[in-house]
Amino acid sequence: MQFAPLYPILYRVLKPCFPGCLWSAPTERTATDRSSSVALTFDDGPHPEYTPALLEELDSLAVPATFFCLGRSVSRHPQWVRAIDRGGHGLGLHGYEHRSFPSLGRDRLQESLARTRSAIARACGWDLEQVARRVRDVRPPNGVFTPQVLRWLREWNYRPVMWSVVPEDWCEPGVSVVVERVLAQVTDGSVIVLHDGYYGGRDVVATVAALVPQLRDRGYQFCLIDEFWSRWETARDRRS
């Protein structure tokens, strides 16, 4: 069963209830910066076939993206994590396995995130201090979290990242359907979720190839999640 029509409603309900998560970027602009931007994000990789093809497509389009990786996949395919980093893309955590965070409990969740960081550190040749500084963003599998999970993430100095546009590409409804869903929902500051793993990854290159030119035609630029956090922090400071 597909739930694509429900995700825009969930976003509008949950975003104000959990303001400590990054759901989308604030849209405040300076007098000299009135451009619109979106963040392309990819979950569940790296995959040995889909991720390298996706990286090649992103490079050809000159589009930066943020990849929320599964630790087990990082351990199996470290070369593609290195390629993500060397391509100028962002890295985030999706847990070591695709398990609901609330089901893990405190200790197992902390271990899952730490193991994923360690796998990324080995893949990229970083020490643990570097990976702790550079990889702070966490997206819960299936978007499932509780207030307690968010408190733990903040306590451990992680940054929870959610979404505002979820076209449900993992159900493989077809490239044209995924693109239509994104274009119907996208606004300035949107965080778009696609997948380069076993579910959804088969169509990800074709989806990106079709989607990016249409977003550019609408005037959108592409940002990393880290840039959206900077905008979020600037907006917070203005309010305080």
CATH number, residue 151: 3.20.20.370
* pTM reported for the whole predicted model: 0.95
For 127, the domain range is 36-239
Contact partners, residue 171, CB within 8 Å, separation at least 6: 2, 4, 200
CA angle, 90 as apex, 234 and 17 as ends, to 5°?
Answer: 50
Give the active site residues.
43, 195
Tally of structural domains, the chain: 1
- Any domain includes 216: yes
**Which tens digit of pLDDT belongs to each residue from 4-47?**
788 888 888 899 999 889 999 988 655 445 689 999 999 999 99
- Any domain includes 14: no
**Which tens digit of pLDDT belongs to each residue from 138-165?**
999 999 999 999 999 999 999 999 999 9
- Any domain includes 83: yes
